[in-house]
Amino acid sequence: DETLIRDLAALPQRIVVFTNAPRAYGLRCLETMGLIDLVDRVFGVEDVMPHCKPEPEAFRAVLGDADPRTCLMVEDSMKNIRACHALGMRTVLVREPSLDATSEAALLGDRADDSDP
């Protein structure tokens, strides 16, 4: 989407991607979506092992010296949103179009509830 690419390129913040997949897969996905040139760094699961999302240690490894209160996490998983929020990060949940009982989040027990941030 050209508008998304333009809007992301205009952001003054660094863009860091963290995936539980191997880094090479994340890079291929970003390349395919036309986003690779907008990203400052890509972290894959091999960069945070033996931890992975949603473990706090995995997010701390990605954050490094960055203050979590100055970071924004955009996620499609409620369990990862909860973990980031607990570290002090601001969070944005990208939801599935359907939130019925057959959605991926519902099937995995990862739906938002009233107690969520």
pLDDT digits (tens, 9 = 90+) for 58-95: 999 999 999 999 999 999 888 899 999 999 999 998 87
pLDDT of 96: 63
Q: Please indicate, yes or no, whether the overall pTM of this predicted structure exceeds 0.95.
A: no
Q: Which residues contact 31 (CB under 8 A, 6 or more apart)?
A: none
